[in-house]
Amino acid sequence: MDELTGLIPEKKPNHIAIIMDGNGRWAKNRGLPRLSGHRAGTENLRRTIRAFVEFGIPYLTIYAFSTENWERPSDEVEGLMHILEEVLDSELAELHQEGVRLKHIGRLERLEKGLREKVQQSVELTENNKRLTLCIAWNYGGRDEINCAIKQIIKDGVSPDDVTDKLVSSYLFTAGIPDPDLIIRTSGEMRISNFLIWQSSYAEWYVTPTLWPDFDREELLKALISYSNRDRRYGKISVCGEDVEKNAQ
Ligand code: FPP
């Protein structure tokens, strides 16, 4: 057991993906505009990154802007783009110094040129960092990702016999990133919302009613403890199950 956290180190997830839901409700509860919720959510992201470094979890993926989020009111979409730009301007140097590698998953084409270039430069600057890989899903959709992969597989003339799980994974935006072990969704919604639909095939889920801006270190710890008590069987039977069977024979 880890003295500080009560966690069993060998049952710690390697990769956690988070659907940061509930910013709008958080703002509404306070009579504030939705963007204030997104700003509070962004502040919480900073705290979350710190907690990941503290707990030694090397991969974090955040669902920050989906392919469906373009349908939100234009001031919210513009506000979110602005937040991303501000964060890159103000936080990149520190993230780099802290050893955070930034990755982008999704499609950059639709972003305004200046922002697109900032994202690309941030990814390039931090590409050799090792402490934490932070994948930012921005203009990301799981179906879009699979469509892109299929198109590229066809363009590359891959023979049907060579199509395997490994090959498909290598064509996704997440190529080279291990599949998530744990997906956390805040605000109580029980949906996948087009997030990592290929990669999450054997991820454990943790849903909490806590709204994203309030999801703090203690909440993360609760999710980690819940995960450490799971029996991940990947469709097989557990060691306990084998024992039960043997005993019954
Ligand atoms: C979901 O809550 C949240 C989003 C769609 C946006 C999340 C984005 C951020 C926190 C911005 C920070 C990210 C980076 C990388 C700078 P919601 O608006 O759907 O909440 P609701 O369901 O309560 O309305």
Q: Which domains does the chain have, with CATH numbers?
A: 9-248 (3.40.1180.10)
Q: What's the gap in Å between 234 CA and the centre of ligand 1?
A: 31
Backbone angles phi, psi at 71, to 5 degrees: -80, -5
Measured torsion, CA atoms of residues 62, 68, 74, 79, in degrees rounded to the nearest 10: 0
* 97-126 burial code (b ≥16 CB/10 A, e <16): eeebbbbbbbbeeebeeebeebbeebeeeb
Using the predicted structure, report yes or no on whether residue 4 has a pLDDT greater than 60: no
Q: How is residue 71 written in tokens?
A: 């349908």
Query: Residues 86-134: pLDDT tens digits?
Result: 999 999 999 999 999 999 999 999 999 999 999 999 999 999 999 999 9
The residue annotated as part of the active site, out of 21, 23, 139, 181, is 21
pLDDT score at 240: 58
Question: What is the pTM (predicted TM-score) of this model?
Answer: 0.93
Contacts of 36 (CB under 8 A, 6+ apart): 27, 30
Which residues line the pocket of ligand 1, CB cutoff 6 A?
20-25, 38, 41-42, 45, 64, 69, 80, 83-84, 87, 136, 187
Please report the pLDDT score of residue 247 as a whole number.
40
pLDDT in tens, 150-186: 999 999 999 999 999 999 999 999 999 999 999 999 9
- The conformation of residue 16, written as its DSSP 8-state character, comes to E
Closest ligand 1 atom number to CA of residue 25: 23
Pairing mode of beta strands 204-208, 59-66: unpaired
Measured in degrees and rounded to the nearest 5, phi and psi for residue 149 equal -65, -45
* Helical ranges in the chain per DSSP H: 23-29, 34-55, 74-97, 113-125, 142-155, 165-170, 217-228, 239-248
